[in-house]
Amino acid sequence: MCYRDVACVKHSCGHESPVSDKRVDCGSNKCRYSSRHNPACPNCTSTCTQWLRPARTTVTSRSDAPCSSCR
Total count of domains within the chain = 1
Cα–Cα dist 40/38, whole Å: 5
**Contact assessment for residue 2 and residue 31, using Cβ atoms and an 8 Å cutoff:** yes
Q: pLDDT grade, residue 67 (50/70/90)? A: very high
Residues 6+ apart with CB under 8 A from 52: 1, 2, 3, 4, 23, 33
User: Does residue 40 fall inside a structural domain?
Assistant: yes
Domain that holds residue 37: 3-62
Q: Which pLDDT score is estimated for 65?
A: 96
User: Does residue 45 fall inside a structural domain?
Assistant: yes
Write the single-letter amino acid at 16: E
**Contact assessment for residue 51 and residue 44, using Cβ atoms and an 8 Å cutoff:** no
Q: pLDDT grade, residue 11 (50/70/90)? A: very high
Cα–Cα dist 12/51, whole Å: 34
How long a stretch of residues is the chain? 71
